[in-house]
Structure 1
Amino acid sequence: MALTLYPAIDLKGGQVVRLKRGDMAQATVYSADPGAQARQFGALGFPWVHVVDLDGAFAGRPANAAAVEAILAAIPGVPVQLGGGIRSMATVEAWLERGVRRVILGSAAVKDPDFVLAACRSHPGRVAVGIDARGGLVATEGWAEVSTMQATDLGKRFEDAGAAAIIYTDIDRDGMLGGVNLDATLALARAVRLPVIASGGVASLDDLAALSAVASEGIEGVIIGRALYDGRIDPAAALALVAGR
């Protein structure tokens, strides 16, 4: 099974940014045109684009709708997964109707699991559960709050609901270019019967190679952010690596 690469577009104030460890005060702006950034990723051959409404994650409701619309318009042939501030069935359905292929429910998985279960069952294969962890414990509200729940326990709650995947982010590594947390990602993939998408800390082709080597154990894909924007990972080389070329 080939690893799927998801280039990340994180939105803050309508701009494309990258944070360090989820800290909104440590935002680096990479583009003022999210649509153009998405178009570039599509032209490079990436099979998906991963979008997060950072302002929405903190506000609990969509806050960068215009930027998301621009991304959808820019890459009509490339599927988009979207997270951040999606806390109601009406919001889920609104984004799916507008062309988002898959919505990501994160904080709601802890705060309102019945809603997440209902969304997964109503839209099988089109809802991913976002599990963001710090030290193995799940964080919510744009990573501002840390719960007492283990990531693996949360993942098991949604195994039979029709979720498309679990997106597992190691917060302490996110945006730090320190390498992916392979052990924790693999432990989650082995513990649940859902595909796992790795996120946080990807710094080089070595990270992609390591994930590719264990993809058969349930790791479906990986989200790449700062390493792409800073030029540490060449897109063509990355896509060739996961394709086995």
Structure 2
Amino acid sequence: MARKILPRLSFLLAGTALAVLIINGFLWYAAAQAPDPPYRPVQHRTCGQPVTMLAEDYNRWGGTRGEGIELARLDFCNPALMTRDDGRLEVWFWLEVEVTGQVFPYTGWGYAWLDVETPFPADYREPRNPWWTSRTGLRVLPNELSYQGGEGYACPHPEVISRGLTLFFYNEAGFQLPVGTRHSGWVCVFFDSGNTVPDSFTVSIQPDRARIIQWVDRVFATRRTPDVDIAPIPTIREADLCEFARLSHPETIRPGEACDS
């Protein structure tokens, strides 16, 4: 009898171990995959009416692959096209973010496997705050195919920080915002080394270390054309920037610095 039971028991244990290995393999694979849900933007249209950004949620199998959680609400206000004293062009706008959620790590972010290899990540994963940075989280794209100046970029940080205004991207390396935080400040972008700007362009915000499945776009126009059906943003001179900021968001004037006079 023992001779009959032992081979069967060994076979059963080997089969169980193989099944566990296969299941863990599927879990690790799922945790490392790119998200499957459709990527989609949502348009922000009116100052004072924030728009929701969604990130991919998670479940015990390594990701929901189709559902989203509210991560933040974004509000764009007070854009202006500024002509600098040296003739270069910059676009300034005010951005506010209210953080309403967190995300969970995946191996693709460079985190340790300990964060993603557990059979039930819902029991072990710690929520993380996304990383907001102008280097990778801010995209500025012209809307006209004929524009030759390429995409836009954030203005050099040493220049904008010297203007004495509160900036949304207050450092170059980036930062995290805890849940419940309201963070706001000015954003400066430029095209074509400051020589030209497109008739219209789209600003997209997507923080790093989060699988964004619904991001926020804002379209701005710099001049009225038959192809652009929105009002152009106002134009100002460099000498007017401080007054423009003071009239629209006086709280962004940093005490004792360039605009505080």
TM-score, with length taken from structure 1: 0.24
Higher relative contact order (CA 8 A, sep 6+): 2
TM (norm. structure 2) is 0.23
Say which structure is richer in helix.
1
Q: For the pair shown, which has the larger CA radius of gyration, 1 or 2?
A: 2
